[in-house]
Amino acid sequence: MNSLALIVGLGNPGPEYRNTRHNAGFLLAELLSQRWETSWRQEKKFFAEIAECRFAGRRVVLCRPQTFMNISGKAVGPVSSFYKIPPEQVLVLVDDADLPLGTLRLRPEGSPGGHHGLESVEQSLGTRAYPRLKVGIARPQQSRRDIAGHVLGEFSSSEQPVWQQVLSRAAQQVECWVTDGIGVAMNRFNGSVAPDSNESTNAKRNTK
C-alpha cells in the first residue's frame, strides 16, 4: 500500500453553502481534520485548502477544492501531481442524490453518474479508476428531476439525527480505508445507517 494518501472532500466554498447537502464531502473532510487534530491552510497554487497529518502511521493529505464543485478537478489534478499520489490512493468524498439519506457506498472506481464534480475529477486524473465514497442525501419526493434547490439546501431538523450518524460512520469508513484498504472498508461499512442506532445495518449492504 502506498504510504501517502490523498482524501478530497467535494463541495462549494463560501458560508452560504457551508451546511448544504451538496457539501457533504466538505463536511466529512472537516470532521476528519477534527478527528485527526490537523488544521487547514490555503494553498492558492492548488486552488484548495490543504491539511496534512499522520493517521495510523500513514501520511495523509486532506483537500477541499475552492474552485466550486463543477471544476473540482482544477484542484485535484495539481495536488495529486505535486504529492505524486497515484489515482488509486486518491479517495474522493462526495454527495449522491440517487442514494437514500444515510447510505454509504464506497467504490474503487466507476462512472460519474451525472455528478459534475466527479466528472471534473475524472478529467483531471485521466481515469475513472480512483476510489470514491458516496454519501446519500436522497432526492426530494416531489421532484425527481429538478433537484438544484434540494442539494443546495440544508438538512432539515428531522434529517439531522440520521445525517450526524452517517457523518460519523463515514469518517470511520475513511479511517478503515486508510488502515486496511478498500476491500475491508467496503465490506465493513457500506450500507445504511439506522436512524435509531450508531451502527450500520448490513441488510442493504452492496459491495459489488
Catalytic residues: 22
* Alpha helix (H) residue ranges in 48-197: 73-82, 116-125, 148-151, 160-180, 182-189
Q: Which residues make beta-bridge pairs with 41? A: 50
Alpha-carbon span 70 to 135, nearest angstrom: 17
In 3D space, the residue among 196, 134, 200, 191 whose CA is nearest the CA of residue 161 turns out to be 196
Alpha-carbon span 50 to 120, nearest angstrom: 19
